Every structure is written in structure tokens, then in C-alpha cells.
Structure 1
Amino acid sequence: MGSRLWGRFNPNHWDPVYAAQTGLKAPIQTGEMSSAYIAEMCVNHFGAAMFTGARVVCKYIASTLANEVITTGGVVREKQPKGDGFRFVVDVWAENEAGEKKTVGWVEVDVGV
């Protein structure tokens, strides 16, 4: 779970021994991983519209540990007419197998505009 984005700088993300020495139960994933899972979910649902001006806003509220199973979810909060299509605002989250939310946020995407 090392982050190439950060040059594998923080061993809390990839070294179980170091993570244990700092009080963690296991290495923690980088926040970008949860954002990527959420973005993937949105691309699977909204398609190419996610690549043309969509906005993803996330807040990392709890550490995601190595070997946790992460599931993403979303609920449409708003559907507003825009041009020939709609603007959707979706509340999104990533949670572990115990239902503990790890990342929360929202997505705004224009479809059919």
C-alpha cells in the first residue's frame, strides 16, 4: 500500500512493523485510494460524464487499514434540470466491512448536458 504519488515516503503506508511501532494495527492506505474507489463507482454509474467537468469532494474521516474490505456507496441528493440533461449532486462514502465510514463526500456531475 505504498504511495508512489508521495515517493513511498511514509512507512505507515507500507511497513507493518513501522506501523505497529507508531501504534497502528496495520499500515494505512493513502486517502487517494478511497477517492479513486469513489470515482470508479461514479464512472461506472454516470459514464463519460465523469470526465467532462465532474467534481469529487472527499474528506477522510478515519484511517483505512491494510486488509480491510472497502465498499463505496452513494445517494442522489439533488437532480436539477440543466440544458438538455441534468446536474446530479450525490452524497458518497467508502466504508469497511463493519460499516464504519472511512471517507465521506459529494460528487457533482452533469449528464446529457
Structure 2
Amino acid sequence: MFQGYLTELMISLFGEEWLQGGRMELKFIQIVRMNETLVSKSRVGSKEQEEAGTRFGVDLWCENQHGEKVVVGTGTGWIR
């Protein structure tokens, strides 16, 4: 479930091409209870210019309605 929220976030940042070459690693750090509200968030952690385009490293997380992180991770995507 959480992976879907963060996958949707990565696609909104990098487009559907992200599904072909993007990467995401997640760690579940807290239990999510039924009816909790979750918000997906991201922050650019790195940016590298390469021949094929610009590669971004992104910090990812989901927070519950109390602002507590429940999932954390990183992702990589390209803008060509």
C-alpha cells in the first residue's frame, strides 16, 4: 500500500519513464493503523549531471496525521 503512494510520487516527479529505470528502497519503521491518514513526501538529496541526463537522488517518506514518519527510504530518477 505505501509503496503505491511513493511510486505515484516518483512518477509525478520523473514521469512514466521512472517505471523503466527508476529505483526505490523503503523501510517500514512504524505500524499504520486502519483509518490513519498518510501523506507522501520527498526531498532532493543529490543531483548529478551525466551524458544521458540529470540523475536525482531523492529522500522519501510517508507521515501519518500526527506528522510521524511511518515509512522512510530513498529513490533515484532521471530527467533527460
TM score, norm. by length of structure 1: 0.67
Q: Which residue of 2 aligns with 1:61?
A: 29
> Hey, what's the Cα distance between the residues in 2 that align with 1:49 and 1:60?
26
Higher strand share: 2
Gaps in structure 2 of 5+ consecutive residues: none
1:111 and 2:64 correspond: no
1:43 and 2:11 matched: yes
> Highest relative contact order (Cα 8 Å, sep 6+), 1 or 2?
2
AA at the equivalent of 1:41: L
Distance 2:46 2:28 in 1: 23
The offset of 1:36, in angstroms, is 1.1
Q: Is the 8 A contact 1:49 1:111 kept in 2?
A: no
Q: Is the 8 A contact 1:73 1:94 kept in 2?
A: yes
Alignment TM-score, normalising by the size of structure 2:
0.93
Structure showing greater Rg = 1
Structure with greater helix percent: 1
Per-residue Cα deviation, 1:37-85 (whole angstroms, up to 9, x for no partner): 0111111121123112100100000011110000000000001002141
Output aligned runs, 1:75-86, within 5 Å: 75-86=43-54
The 2-side partners of 1:80 and 1:45 are apart by: 16
How does 1:89-100 map onto structure 2 within 5 Å?
Answer: 89-100=57-68
